[in-house]
Amino acid sequence: MFIAVDIGNTHTVIGTYKEEELKADVRISSTLQQTETEIRAQLLTMLTRKGIDTEKIDGVGISSVVPHLTDIYVSLSKKCFHQNPLIVSTDLNLGITIHYDDPKSVGADRLCNAIAGYTKYGGPLIIIDFGTATTFDVVASNGDYLGGIIAPGIETSAADLHKRTARLPKIDLQLPKSIIGTDTVSSMQTGILWGAVDAMTGMVHRIQSELQLIEAKKAIVIATGGFSKFVADHSQLIQHVETFLVLDGIRLIYDRVHGIGKKPV
């Protein structure tokens, strides 16, 4: 079995694969204050509850945007699974051309999304990841990574609004019945959630408009990340929701580097 580890700024998502099938997934907080011992206990407990036999793990891949936690999970991979993990980076043969001024500055999760999205749907693509940040990644019809956009995430916006104001409360992120709020909480909920949906809509239209200058067909729009289903339920622009796109990308990159099966791109 293969383990894919997606270390994000807020959560770490871990998926176990049997060949191409995702068999189980667990989510752990990406708290920097946690020690390796604490993370190990939490990880092994969760894998046991999912019925995963750690002795059958024969490969580990890691995508990370948190260097400190990368070191911890590399150590855990060696101690718990007896595997030297593959770390996703532009130093690997990813099989794509990255059209970023500095390719090394593209987050590993964004590269995983691009490769997994292109493998599943071809291109051109617009991949929107609703995480700590909301990122838009644009993939050409030949699989090249063209670049993208980084915006504040939905939860980040809500937390920052509460943190930076004296009288605005911390709120649950759910839509009120009316677009016009009649109290502070519903006004904030409308502003944050519908604001995110409408901002996404406008951004996709802008990307499609620019992309049509170089592509013969309209880009497919994919959503991933924690709020992907919510936004997709309230927008006809999103054609596919892929909850575990980063994990799929980690597995595909691992297979490519190790010559397993068909090359992803």
- Active-site residues, by number, are 109
Measured over the CA atoms of residue 235, residue 238, residue 244 and residue 249, the dihedral's sign is negative
C-alpha radius of gyration, the chain, whole number: 19
Distance separating alpha carbons of residues 69 and 241, to the nearest angstrom? 28
In DSSP terms, which residues pair with 256 in a beta bridge?
none
| 3-class SS of residue 18 | strand
What whole-number distance in Å separates Cα of residue 83 and Cα of residue 11? Answer: 23
**SS3 (DSSP) at 86:** strand
Q: How far apart are CA 109 and CA 88, in angstroms?
A: 8
Going by the DSSP 8-state scheme, the letter that residue 19 receives in this structure is T
- Strand 11-18 versus strand 2-7 pairing type: antiparallel
3-state secondary structure of 256: helix
Q: For the chain, what is the total number of helices (H) and then of strands (E)? A: 8, 10
